[in-house]
Amino acid sequence: MGFLDTIKMGLDTVKNFFQAKEKDHSMSPPQENQRSPVGGYHNRYSPQVINNTQYSKNKGSIEAMASRKPFGEANLNIQGSMPAKKEGFNRVLDGLKKRQLQHDFKLERAAETYEPIQNIGSGAFGIVCEAVETSSDDKVAIKKVAHASATPTLARRTLREIRVLRYIDHPNIVTLRDIFRTQGPLGIDVFLVMDLMQNNLHHIIYGNEEPLDEYYINQFLGQLLRGLEYLHVASIAHRDLKPSNLLVNQDGTLRIADFGMAKFTDNSSKKHDDEEHCYYMTQHVATLPYRAPELLFVLPEHSTAVDMWAVGCIFGEMVTRNELLPGRSVQGQIKMLLTMLGHPPQHVIDEIRCDRTKKLIQDFVRKADPDWEDIMYCKARGDDQIVRGHCDTIDFVKQLFQYDATKRISIQEALAHSYIRRVIEPQGSQKKCPFRVKKDMMQVEDLSHQELIEIMKQDVRSAENTYNEMRSGDYNRWMAGDFQRDRREQIEKANYDPMYSSRNSSNQLANGFNRQHQFGQPVSGYEWRVSPYGAA
Ligand SMILES: Nc1ncnc2c1ncn2[C@@H]1O[C@H](COP(=O)(O)OP(=O)(O)OP(=O)(O)O)[C@@H](O)[C@H]1O
């Protein structure tokens, strides 16, 4: 039974219940100001946030939020429609929510380790719940990717997420603590256990009447750039940056999440263009407002520059409290770009392979170049601290919104830009992304559906073992280093994949990822983090 069916059934039950109650006039009097404890997840779904008409212009955001509303709170106007009955109503809804949670998060063996508490979010591919790790009482977030093995796209997405996160250790990237899988009706369900974060940037931007304070805008921007630097230096593009994928804690820590679209990008990675073309043109509409022109126009290549475009959109959204480029279809988004930013340069148009897109651009009435000061100011807040009077801010924005990806500001250039240097405290040099992540990510792009499934199972198994061993008391040895060495050997052996090495040996050599070189002496930039599951 689907989620909507469950809701419908629940509502019918509740309606019948109250109709019967009304007949015998035995209903208790209205209890004002009482609310059930449903949801209550750090206020992120509070009715003020959901019903905030301030951003009703922003249809896409509302739709996005609507799909993320937890059961029974914002979808149903409890207070408005049945004030007298809300207590009983909420009790029934609580029961339904609990059943839905049990249905979504059947953890099988892992049920001994984690206890789901409540659903806290969902996207196109995953549902996320808050849970408790029973041994430590730590709060965690568990993301379930249902039937992850069912299609190549889902399998690739899941493997990308596992492979980026399992060896990464950065304060501005979400921490993966554990992975396990169960057998679902349509294939494997994969569960990723992460540190629990309290909110996301989307809710922070729109959850208040007031625009974000300049201090926070700069803090969030700085953390986003540092997290991206770690990835981009390793040629890994996130490719799905948007405010709801930037998780934020109460102390203001921002972490980048949702790596299902992450990809190792270099000039040689042009595989799966057709698959991706299809994907971008159809399913991935939710993130259109953040999509770089090279993805929209489906140019033959794209790189980490796609994330820098998204940084521009997110920065603009934080300042103006509106999506800067809120297109609702691929065509609409292209028109939005043409209206707001003018025409792309001719050499960019020449690279477009799709005739329809080319024609759309050529036929569109030519607009003047954008006045960024106006764009950032008009829609905005009315104070001019951030935009007016600071030409370095405008220059920063202009450089992020370059149509030509090769001219767009890179992460290093962004961090060295006078605006960023003016508003964000410089930090010492940061750790490098493990070489292993690069290699693992490269491999993902070359695998067939069957190989993806096999490797996904293998990765999950190896991670499961590691985490189980950690939990079963080897933690001190692990921290002391012996365990890391043992484990490293085991994982290296476990990851020896003849299928891949024989098929790709020439590729590996060509790309400098010779297995012997890699697993023999650590090459420069290779580092083994203390715990691949972020025990710290
Ligand atoms: N570690 C976490 N802590 C708290 N909330 C989280 C965490 N991870 C994810 N979420 C919440 O769950 C939502 C959905 O997660 P996520 O974006 O990873 O799913 P998805 O299906 O891949 O989404 P998308 O549709 O963006 O591709 C997020 O927007 C976020 O609000």
Residue 92: which residues within 8 A CB-CB, separation 6 or more?
10, 13, 14, 17
3-state secondary structure of 434: coil
The residue contributing the CA closest to ligand 1 atom 9 is: 128
Q: From ligand 1's centre to the CA of 276, what distance in Å?
A: 21
- Residue 245, token pair as written in the block: 């994928």
Query: With pLDDT > 70 as the criterion, what percentage of the chain qualifies?
Result: 65
Report whether pLDDT(197) > 50.
yes
Q: What is the pTM of this model?
A: 0.73
Report whether pLDDT(478) > 50.
no
Report the 10 Å Cβ neighbour count for 350.
9
**Lowest mean pLDDT: which of 24-33, 114-123, 134-143?**
24-33
Report whether pLDDT(50) > 70.
no
pLDDT in the model for residue 455:
92
- Tens of pLDDT, residues 282-334: 445 348 899 999 988 888 778 899 999 999 999 999 988 889 999 888 889 99
Tell me the mean pLDDT in the region 35-43: 29
Q: From ligand 1's centre to the CA of 320, what distance in Å?
A: 24
144 annotated as ligand-binding? yes
pLDDT bin (cut points 50, 70, 90) of residue 167 is: confident
Residue 224 · residue 246 · CB < 8 Å:
yes
Residue 126 · residue 145 · CB < 8 Å:
yes
Q: Which of 120, 140, 238 to mutate to test the pocket of ligand 1 (most atoms within 8 A of CB)?
A: 120
pLDDT in the model for residue 370:
80
pLDDT in the model for residue 115:
95
Determine the atom of ligand 1 nearest the C-alpha atom of 121.
12
pLDDT in the model for residue 372:
81
**Lowest mean pLDDT: which of 44-48, 348-352, 454-458?**
44-48
3-state secondary structure of 243: helix
Tell me the mean pLDDT in the region 37-46: 30
Residue 114: closest CA among 99, 101, 96, 95: 101
Q: Could you give the count of Cα atoms lying within 13 Å of 362 in the half-sphere of its Cβ?
A: 12
Residues flanking ligand 1, CB < 6 Å: 120-126, 128, 141, 143, 174, 194, 196-197, 200, 240, 244-245, 247, 257-258, 260, 286
CA–CA distances in Å: residue 261 to residues 239, 288, 324, 453, 533:
6, 14, 22, 17, 21
Determine the atom of ligand 1 nearest the C-alpha atom of 242.
26
Report whether pLDDT(179) > 70.
yes
pLDDT bin (cut points 50, 70, 90) of residue 142 is: very high
pLDDT in the model for residue 83:
57
Q: Which of 157, 247, 279 to mutate to test the pocket of ligand 1 (most atoms within 8 A of CB)?
A: 247
Q: From ligand 1's centre to the CA of 56, what distance in Å?
A: 23
pLDDT bin (cut points 50, 70, 90) of residue 507 is: very low
Determine the atom of ligand 1 nearest the C-alpha atom of 122.
14
Rounded to the nearest 10 degrees, what angle do helices 152-165 and 449-469 cross at? 30
Q: From ligand 1's centre to the CA of 192, what distance in Å?
A: 11
Any idea which residues carry the catalytic annotation? 240
| pLDDT, averaged across the chain | 72
Q: From ligand 1's centre to the CA of 316, what distance in Å?
A: 22
The residue contributing the CA closest to ligand 1 atom 23 is: 123
Report the 10 Å Cβ neighbour count for 27.
13
